[in-house]
Amino acid sequence: MSDAALPLPVPSPELQTRLATRRSAPAQALAAPGPTDAEIDAILTLGARTPDHGKLFPWRFVVLGPESRAELAAKLEPLADGQPDPKKARAVLAKLTVPPATILVISTPVEGHKVPVWEQELSAGAVCMNLEHAAGAHGYAASWITDWYSYAPAALALFGVGQGERIAGFIHIGTLAEPPLERPRPDLTTKVSRRR
């Protein structure tokens, strides 16, 4: 580790525009080209620069390629029959197989540490958001999703999720043929209070 000073923040109209226009992409609409292995590594490096109380790094990444995702979807298909809406549960497996690249983020909180598990889980969520921004900075669209297979115990075993771990999200990355449509945003007058 280095004790070198980092640069102070400076105004960045480019970053402001990125944040003002950030929009999750429909996972099934993500197509090639996707990020190269080197770009995935760079996206992971940026994603890992997230708030992390206690320097615990309470998350890990699994980079899923097209072959592994196809195999997983095939194994998940029989499990879809046990879902409340089996037809829909099978249909959403396309979100797992269509995008060119997927990063699985697994929350790995350290139990019994002075940093509450909730804060550690928030760090895993922050990693997911950072990965979305990092993908955008490399010129790709991204979709952060979970779906039923993030919670079904038999599905978790297929993804290698261990005891005490949880799936924070699948970050699907690729290219959109058309810009995404805007969606409703909150009226901040109903969400913001100020105290002086």
pLDDT tens string 124-156: 999 999 999 999 999 999 999 999 999 999 999
Determine, yes or no, domain membership for 53: yes
Determine, yes or no, domain membership for 166: yes
The residue-averaged pLDDT of 78-97 equals 96
Is 63's pLDDT higher than 70? yes
Determine, yes or no, domain membership for 104: yes
Determine, yes or no, domain membership for 142: yes
Q: How many domains does the chain have?
A: 1
pTM, to two decimals = 0.94
Task: Give the confidence band of 173 by pLDDT, cuts at 50, 70, 90.
Answer: very high
Q: What pLDDT shows up at residue 2?
A: 67
Task: Mention every residue, 6+ apart, whose C-beta is less than 8 A from residue 31.
Answer: 98, 99, 100, 174, 175, 176, 177
The residue-averaged pLDDT of 64-78 equals 97
Determine, yes or no, domain membership for 182: no
Q: What pLDDT shows up at residue 3?
A: 78
pLDDT tens string 159-169: 999 999 999 99
Determine, yes or no, domain membership for 18: no
Q: What pLDDT shows up at residue 180?
A: 87
The residue-averaged pLDDT of 180-184 equals 91
> Rounded distance, CA 113 to CA 154, Å?
28
pLDDT tens string 91-102: 999 999 999 999
Residue 86, token pair as written in the block: 């089996």
Instruction: Check which CATH number belongs to the domain holding 159 and give it.
Output: 3.40.109.10
Determine, yes or no, domain membership for 58: yes
Task: Give the confidence band of 1 by pLDDT, cuts at 50, 70, 90.
Answer: low
Determine, yes or no, domain membership for 160: yes
- Count CB-CB contacts under 10 A for residue 37: 10
Q: What is the dihedral of CA 67, 68, 70, 76, to 10 degrees?
A: 170
